[in-house]
Chain A
Amino acid sequence: KAGVTQTPRYLIKTRGQQVTLSCSPISGHRSVSWYQQTPGQGLQFLFEYFSETQRNKGNFPGRFSGRQFSNSRSEMNVSTLELGDSALYLCASSPGQINSPLHFGNGTRLTVT
């Protein structure tokens, strides 16, 4: 069974630009979550989607948004990039049932210059 796939793996953007990251969950998984990982703040929850509906949102500014498509694939968008947005963005999928562990992808490393 294929794992969680994130594209692209690496991205370099300039301040003020916007970026879209993509995540394909494990087949059959209906929940997709996004996390930001930085050396200073660690792993922080961004948002979670289940069957195209956002169920939870973390404490990030509105520049961070996401969506989920009917095939459970998800995208995350960051507008007006800031230097502090440089991070590893991890996507995770699960069947969406209580007690299911998250299965993480390899992440997208975003560098903002």
Chain B
Amino acid sequence: ELKVEQNPLFLSMQEGKNYTIYCNYSTTSDRLYWYRQDPGKSLESLFVLLSNGAVKQEGRLMASLDTKARLSTLHITAAVHDLSATYFCAVDVSQGAQKLVFGQGTRLTINP
């Protein structure tokens, strides 16, 4: 059974600092997604990573995918309070047929 594991699960950091969230998965897949969820809200798509070595950046967030290591990272640069949220990675296990297995989520709190 596919497992998707994120770490850390909880992260409290100061504004202006850099940090990385890790997402490991246990089976072959070349499609990985990152989502953001604010408290009481739905999931917002951040990145779609489609191949080995893929790197995507949006503002202070950058995501990468290493399919050989079965590892994706979400790097936060110079964090700001507005980035406080729960971040999920998800692996497509259906070869594009929209069945995703999600990680546990990383709750990120950024303190002023």
Q: List which A63-113 residues lie within 8 A (CB) of chain B.
A: 90, 92, 94, 96-107
Q: Is the C-beta of B100 less than 8 angstroms from some C-beta in chain A? A: yes
Among residues of A, the one whose C-beta sits closest to the C-beta of B88 is A43
Find chain B residues with CB under 8 A from A105 CB: 42
Shortest beta-carbon distance from A24 to chain B in Å: 14
A55 touches B98 (CB 8 A): yes
Shortest beta-carbon distance from B95 to chain A in Å: 7
Number of chain B residues close to chain A: CB under 8 A:
24
Find chain B residues with CB under 8 A from A94 CB: 98
Q: Which of B21-29, B61-69, B73-81, B101-109 contacts A (4 or more CB under 8 A)?
A: B101-109
Among residues of A, the one whose C-beta sits closest to the C-beta of B46 is A101
Find chain A residues with CB under 8 A from B41 CB: 106
B-side interface mostly: loop
Q: Is the C-beta of A56 less than 8 angstroms from some C-beta in chain B? A: yes
A103 touches B45 (CB 8 A): yes
Among residues of A, the one whose C-beta sits closest to the C-beta of B100 is A45
B42 touches A45 (CB 8 A): no
Find chain A residues with CB under 8 A from B33 CB: 101-102
Contact with A along B51-95 (1 / 0, CB 8 A): 000000000000000000000000000000000000010100011
A43 touches B102 (CB 8 A): yes
Shortest beta-carbon distance from B5 to chain A in Å: 11
Q: Is the C-beta of B48 less than 8 angstroms from some C-beta in chain A? A: yes
B102 touches A42 (CB 8 A): yes
Among residues of B, the one whose C-beta sits closest to the C-beta of A91 is B42
Among residues of A, the one whose C-beta sits closest to the C-beta of B49 is A99
Q: Is the C-beta of B96 less than 8 angstroms from some C-beta in chain A? A: yes
Q: Residues of B with Cβ closer than 8 Å to A?
A: 31, 33, 35, 41-45, 48, 50, 88, 90, 94-105
